[in-house]
Structure 1
Amino acid sequence: MRRPNIVWISTHDINPDLGCYAGVWPGAEYARTPNLDALARRGVRFDNAFAAAPICAPARSAIITGCFPTSIGTMHMRSKAVPPPDVRLLPEIMRAAGYYCTNNWFTDFQVDLPEIVFDDCSPEAHWRNRPTAETPFFAMFHGMATHESQLYLDDDAFAAATAHVAEADRHLPADAPLPPYYPDDEVFRTAWARYSDLITEMDHWVGGLVAELEEDGVLENTIVVFWSDHGKGMPRAKRWPNEAGLREPLIVSWPDRLPTGAGVTDLVHTMDLAPTMLALAGLEVPEAMQGVALFGGEGALRPQPNEFTFGGRDRQGEADDRSRTVRDPRFRYIRNYFPDKPAMIHTEYPDRLPTWAAFRRLASDECQQRARGELPSAMTAAQRAVVAQSKPSEELYDILADPHETVNLAAEPAHLDDLERLRAALDSWILEYGDLGAIPESDLEERWRPGGRRPATEPPEVALEAGVLSLRATTPGTLLGWTPDEPASAAEPSSFQSEIGLPAPDGRSWNLYTGPVAVGQPIWVKAWRIGFAPSDDIPVRVPVPV
């Protein structure tokens, strides 16, 4: 079987605000995204795709492992978890199966990424660097164009960041389809228009990658997947376990093998991508993966892959909180474990952003109105709820009737059955998969790194007979590798590189060990376990024939 190539194209901080989602997602008709619209016409558009968390690193950890963050310990934003030993990263599985695996270049998977997981993890990583034209590839590209930080650039920097957006394609602030929980003012209209311009710029980048596949003559046998990590980088979206925090665009295209122009309304997790890629490539899905393959034999869509989708909010920066949510085809239920904490809890980074600051000013204005004996009128009830100093212990929203989640039905007798049904679904999910978010983070860290020290990966056992090298792992969950390249000093990573877990390049090319290999020159072998310090290099000298 000729295995398909796979290209993942991901972006940051957007909802399904693409033209192809017009009529599916509120306000999507505002978008100008010709390349992604074309990709959707050639493939499958998932209309109800959801992230596992409303913020970057936990959401990405789910996508790369196929596991719920709360189950494997990756739920707190920017931490270095130590998942169970049977949890594997998708590119490592693909590489072991013979794929050339690249990542360009963002990671943020909540773990220190072993350098052996990818053939290349760098800004230069590309399928075009594979060893032969026949080598199947899994190439990941992570665009930063739509990250929330780009919304608030100064005018000159924003113009440069959106240089490929024609004037005719610019989004007018006056036409921005603001949801009712946003103030109708210049700050929010400008932010929304800029958000949409950035999506159009990102769409241009997507078109360039697809064009490269066509130029190389490999598009017909390549699965192209487009996804975002979580919702838009504005209040009441990113960082909130609501619809706008978790609802994602997801498009999968494979010419002549998957349906074309299909809009699928079934519930899916972006976490389902890992097992889906393995299934489409004809590879076995590990039992530890908790996602489900979205396609069956011959590329047929699997009907109703999930009865529910689940997600959660945990520590985000210095803002410590915990909420869990479950979604069925109609309702979203949210359980807030700390209702005494505000949903818009102070967090240093986003609180400096203009949209967050605008909400804070409006809340202050209403306090001044009260001081004058006036009724607060700077915000509507829906807007006031965003900055309220507490939140309900339970929330229930009818997404079909109330897509912006403005009416909490949790206390409505008419919806008691729905409330109890979704409560039970959430309880069953927690019982089945566990919830490490219920454990104090300091206790988890001590469990993972006693005394603050990473455990060491034991070096592999080495056997060399008749020029054939065999390795055996002695630490559960270990990856083994070998290289003919001599040891070299790794470059010191920057603080940001350390935070997102980028591997420190040492100029060596590591081969993933999958079975006995013939060697005819001196090599070095090494072992890695995610969350552990890697083993030392072990030199293997090949005897000279006499």
Structure 2
Amino acid sequence: MNRPNIVWISTHDINPDLGCYSGVWAGAEYAVTPRLDRLAAEGARFDRAFASAPVCAPARSAIMTGCFPTSIGTMHMRTKAAPPPEVRLLPEYFRRSGYYCTNNWFTDFQVDIPPTVFDDCSRVAHWRNRPNPDTPFFAAFHGMATHESKIYLDDEAFEAVTVNVGAADRHDPASAPLPPYYPDTAVFRRAWARYSDLITEMDHWVGTILDQLEEDGLAETTIVVFWSDHGKGMPRAKRWATEAGLREPLILRWPGVISSGTVRGDLVYTMDLAPTMLRACGLPVPEHMHGVALFGPDGSFVEEPNEYVYGGRDRMDEAEDTSRTVRDQRFRYIRNFHPDRPPMLHTNYPDQLPTWSELRRIAAEEAKQLAFGEPRNLFTDLQRTLVASSKPAEELYDLIQDPHETQNLVPDPAYAADLDRLRDALARWQGRFGDLGLMSEADLIDRWRPAGLPRTTAAPLIVQTPDGLEAQCLTDGASIAWTADPPGPVQDRNPMERAAGNPEMDGRRWHLYSGPVLNDDGERLWFRAWRIGFQPSQETLAPVPAGAEHAT
């Protein structure tokens, strides 16, 4: 078969707040997103797509591995996990099968990324840099335009990051469709309008990538996927195991295979993208992946791929909390393992954002009302739950009748059967896949790095055979790469790049080892092995074939 190319376009911190989701997601009609609306019209729009976690690094780890974060240890924000040995990052499977794999530029997959994964992971990574125009490619582009931090820039900086949003496309704060759990204040209206302006700016950026595919004559042979990592960067969404924290836009175009105007109402994960892309390209799906392939190489969809979708929140920076959730087509059930802790635990970074500060300010004003012996009246009862000192141990919401999750149905005996069913579904999921979020993080880290020391990948063993250089590594789960580039200085990574796990930049091109390497001209070749969560191995200089001379 002719192998399709793949382009992933992702953004940060948005719900399905795109024009094409009008009538599906409350408030989506407020959006100005012509390019993404057109992309949806040309392919498939998934109306019930969900992240596995409501914050970026755990959510992205699920997308890039096809595995639940709670099962492989990537559920805390942030960490450096040592997943089970069978777990690899998705592009490595494509690279092993001959794809040119690039990432531009954001990573944050909860592991240090070995050079076996991408041919290029940099700010200039692009399919246009592949060595041969006939080489199929997997190219990921991760935009930062909609990250929550951008909402709160000063006016001059905000104008600079939304330079492609014309005056007619600016969103009016007075028309912002605030959900009922937010106070109707200038701070929240301004934040919602700015959030939407950033989405319009992001829509323009998406269009530039789609235009490049057209310019290169590749649009008809490329699967394009657009997704967000999790929900919007505001309270009760990002960092919360709620509908707004986990509900995602997911749009896919595959010309000639998936019909234009396709709409899918199945429950799906962004985690399902890993097995789906492999299956679509005719590659085997590893048995360890938890995601489900949504369609095959002929574009035929799997009906009801997931009876339920699951998710959870764990440590968010210094805020330690644990919640788990399960959703079917109608209900969302949430179990809070620490109901004595407030929903808005102090967390240094978001607590400095204006929407968080606004909630704290109003709560303080209500405390003054109480001090004067007056009844509180600045929040509604629903809004006050955000700043409460505790939360329910269990929550149940009817999302058809109550899309904003305003009425907890746990006490209502009319819903007792649904509550029991979803409790049982959550327990069965945890039993089947495991839940490392329920163990002490200190114990988990000690399992990964005994006595605080990372384990080291064994150096590859290289043997000269009649077919070429063959390599093996004795560390279970290790991948091997080789290079003809001699060792040189390694560029320093800034703190964010180190935290996100960006690969070290040593100026060398590492080739993923997948079989014997010919070296008839006697070139000096170095081999090295990487196991995710371990230190990389020492380098091994390959033997030179008898009679061959070193290249000069």
Same-fold call, TM cutoff 0.5: yes
Partner amino acid, structure 1, of 2:65: T
- The aligned runs of 1:260-275 (5 Å cut-off) are 260-275=260-275
1:466 deviates by 3.9
Cα distance in 2 for partners of 1:160, 1:112 equals 32
Assess if the C-alpha contact under 8 Å between 2:49 and 2:270 holds in 1. Answer: yes
Q: 1:64 aligns to what? A: 64
- The aligned runs of 1:223-242 (5 Å cut-off) are 223-242=223-242
Assess if the C-alpha contact under 8 Å between 1:396 and 1:410 holds in 2. Answer: yes
Cα distance in 1 for partners of 2:297, 2:162 equals 42
Other structure's SS at 1:71 match? helix
- The aligned runs of 1:345-364 (5 Å cut-off) are 345-364=345-364
Cα distance in 2 for partners of 1:361, 1:502 equals 38
1:451 deviates by 1.6
Assess if the C-alpha contact under 8 Å between 2:462 and 2:543 holds in 1. Answer: no
What is the aligned counterpart of 1:540 among 524, 539, 542? 542
Q: Where in structure 1 do 4 or more consecutive aligned residues deviate above 6 Å?
A: none
Assess if the C-alpha contact under 8 Å between 1:13 and 1:232 holds in 2. Answer: yes
Other structure's SS at 1:385 match? helix
Q: 1:133 aligns to what? A: 133
Other structure's SS at 2:479 match? strand
Partner amino acid, structure 2, of 1:499: A
Assess if the C-alpha contact under 8 Å between 2:276 and 2:294 holds in 1. Answer: yes
Assess if the C-alpha contact under 8 Å between 2:282 and 2:297 holds in 1. Answer: no
Cα distance in 1 for partners of 2:431, 2:539 equals 42
TM-score normalised per structure 2? 0.98
Q: 2:468 aligns to what? A: 468
Partner amino acid, structure 1, of 2:529: A
Assess if the C-alpha contact under 8 Å between 1:71 and 1:436 holds in 2. Answer: yes
Question: Residue deviations 1:20-73, cap 9 Å, x none?
Answer: 000000000000000000000011100000000000000000000000000000
Q: 2:191 aligns to what? A: 191
Assess if the C-alpha contact under 8 Å between 2:44 and 2:252 holds in 1. Answer: yes
What is the aligned counterpart of 1:525 among 521, 524, 527? 527
Cα distance in 2 for partners of 1:354, 1:155 equals 14
Partner amino acid, structure 2, of 1:253: R
- The aligned runs of 1:421-460 (5 Å cut-off) are 421-460=421-460
1:467 deviates by 6.7
Cα distance in 2 for partners of 1:505, 1:518 equals 26
Partner amino acid, structure 2, of 1:336: N
Question: Residue deviations 1:57-91, cap 9 Å, x none?
Answer: 00000000000000000000010000000111100
Assess if the C-alpha contact under 8 Å between 2:464 and 2:543 holds in 1. Answer: no
Assess if the C-alpha contact under 8 Å between 2:467 and 2:516 holds in 1. Answer: no
Partner amino acid, structure 1, of 2:527: V
TM-score normalised per structure 1? 0.99
Cα distance in 2 for partners of 1:205, 1:269 equals 24
Partner amino acid, structure 1, of 2:123: P
Q: 2:497 aligns to what? A: 497
Q: 2:247 aligns to what? A: 247
Q: 2:509 aligns to what? A: 509
Question: Residue deviations 1:357-402, cap 9 Å, x none?
Answer: 0000111111111111111101001110111110000000000100
Other structure's SS at 2:530 match? strand
Is 1:390 the counterpart of 2:387? The answer is no
Is 1:319 the counterpart of 2:319? The answer is yes
Q: 2:180 aligns to what? A: 180
Assess if the C-alpha contact under 8 Å between 1:80 and 1:531 holds in 2. Answer: yes
1:115 deviates by 1.9
Partner amino acid, structure 2, of 1:444: L
Partner amino acid, structure 1, of 2:399: I
Partner amino acid, structure 1, of 2:452: G
Q: 1:478 aligns to what? A: 478
Cα distance in 2 for partners of 1:238, 1:465 equals 54
The share of aligned pairs that are identical, in percent, is: 63
Q: 2:256 aligns to what? A: 256
1:544 deviates by 5.2
Question: Residue deviations 1:328-362, cap 9 Å, x none?
Answer: 00000000000000111110000000000000011
1:488 deviates by 1.2
Cα distance in 1 for partners of 2:258, 2:452 equals 48
Assess if the C-alpha contact under 8 Å between 1:269 and 1:309 holds in 2. Answer: yes
Cα distance in 1 for partners of 2:71, 2:470 equals 34
Number of residue pairs aligned between Structure 1 and Structure 2: 546
Other structure's SS at 1:298 match? coil
1:262 deviates by 1.4
- The aligned runs of 1:291-310 (5 Å cut-off) are 291-310=291-310
Q: 2:206 aligns to what? A: 206
1:545 deviates by 1.7
Partner amino acid, structure 2, of 1:243: E
Which blocks of at least 5 consecutive residues in structure 2 are unaligned?
Answer: none
RMSD across aligned positions (CA): 0.8
Cα distance in 2 for partners of 1:5, 1:296 equals 15
Partner amino acid, structure 1, of 2:473: A
Other structure's SS at 1:517 match? coil
Partner amino acid, structure 2, of 1:351: D
Cα distance in 1 for partners of 2:47, 2:466 equals 57
Partner amino acid, structure 1, of 2:442: S
Cα distance in 2 for partners of 1:51, 1:11 equals 13
Q: 1:419 aligns to what? A: 419
1:541 deviates by 3.6
Cα distance in 2 for partners of 1:541, 1:430 equals 49
1:465 deviates by 2.5
1:228 deviates by 0.1
Cα distance in 2 for partners of 1:543, 1:397 equals 68
Other structure's SS at 2:298 match? helix
Cα distance in 1 for partners of 2:466, 2:297 equals 43
- The aligned runs of 1:81-96 (5 Å cut-off) are 81-96=81-96
Cα distance in 2 for partners of 1:96, 1:466 equals 22
Q: 1:284 aligns to what? A: 284
1:493 deviates by 1.4
Partner amino acid, structure 2, of 1:106: F
Assess if the C-alpha contact under 8 Å between 1:115 and 1:505 holds in 2. Answer: no
Assess if the C-alpha contact under 8 Å between 1:86 and 1:288 holds in 2. Answer: yes
Cα distance in 1 for partners of 2:46, 2:380 equals 33
Other structure's SS at 1:104 match? strand
Cα distance in 2 for partners of 1:165, 1:447 equals 49
1:297 deviates by 4.9
Q: 1:339 aligns to what? A: 339
Cα distance in 2 for partners of 1:420, 1:249 equals 30
- The aligned runs of 1:105-184 (5 Å cut-off) are 105-184=105-184
Cα distance in 2 for partners of 1:450, 1:415 equals 47
Q: 1:76 aligns to what? A: 76
More off after superposition, 516-525 vs 416-425: 516-525
Assess if the C-alpha contact under 8 Å between 1:467 and 1:542 holds in 2. Answer: no
Assess if the C-alpha contact under 8 Å between 2:95 and 2:101 holds in 1. Answer: yes
Other structure's SS at 1:248 match? strand
Other structure's SS at 1:405 match? coil
More off after superposition, 510-519 vs 321-330: 510-519
Assess if the C-alpha contact under 8 Å between 2:324 and 2:335 holds in 1. Answer: yes
Cα distance in 1 for partners of 2:375, 2:144 equals 43
